A = this chain, B = another copy of it.
Amino acid sequence: MALEKRYKIKVEENKIITDDHFIINGNKAYAGQHIIIDFWYTNFDNKISSLRKIIKKAVMLSNATLINLKLHRFGEEQGISGVAVLAESHISVHTWPERDYIAFDIFMCGNTNPEIATKYLISSLNPKEKFIKTIKRGEHKIDK
């Protein structure tokens, strides 16, 4: 709860997490939140080691479980691509250093908080411009 306060996240009250990590809230169920993130003009130093550290901390803060994190640079002075596989889905990242552009997506199910990961990425990378869109994956109405 302390992190929700610190990052000013609206807490979804009364949500129930099912055994298969679906989220039930009232008469709606969904698999998880998928957050699409575009950052422009960040303070990223273009090092794989920095990005690894940032993603690991984002996973930890959002209460997710990291299974595997692979980051790959395509060639000298080129961008980095990678994916963190989580027990609760994934985080992907693709960077374009020549454009000062970074594309993340964060998909998290179960008892996690991907909004905290998002806020942490913003505070670490400090983009001058950003575009963020959240999609509730697999959302549908259910009978109570």
Contacts and interface: CB of A to CB of B under 8 A. Distances in A.
Q: Is the interface of A mostly helix, strand, loop or mixed?
A: strand
A114 to B, nearest CB: 14
B74 A83 contact: no
Interface in A72-119: 72, 74, 78-79, 81-83, 85, 87, 89-90, 92, 94, 96, 98-99, 101, 103, 105, 107, 109
B92 A81 contact: no
Contacts of A99: 20, 22, 138
B137 A36 contact: yes
A79 B32 CA distance: 15
Contact of A92 (B72, B79, B107, B109): B107
Contacts of A109: 94
A9 interface: no
Interface string A7-42: 000000000000010100000000100101010100
Contacts of A135: 36, 133
Interface bin, chain A: 35 or more
A141 interface: no
List of 9 A-B pairs having minimum Cβ-Cβ separation, nearest first: A83-B83, A38-B138, A103-B137, A90-B92, A101-B138, A20-B98, A89-B94, A36-B135, A20-B96
27 contacts: A20-B79, A20-B96, A22-B99, A31-B94, A31-B96, A31-B101, A31-B103, A34-B36, A36-B137, A38-B137, A40-B140, A68-B70, A70-B85, A81-B90, A82-B85, A83-B85, A83-B90, A83-B92, A90-B92, A90-B94, A92-B92, A94-B107, A96-B138, A99-B138, A103-B138, A105-B105, A133-B135
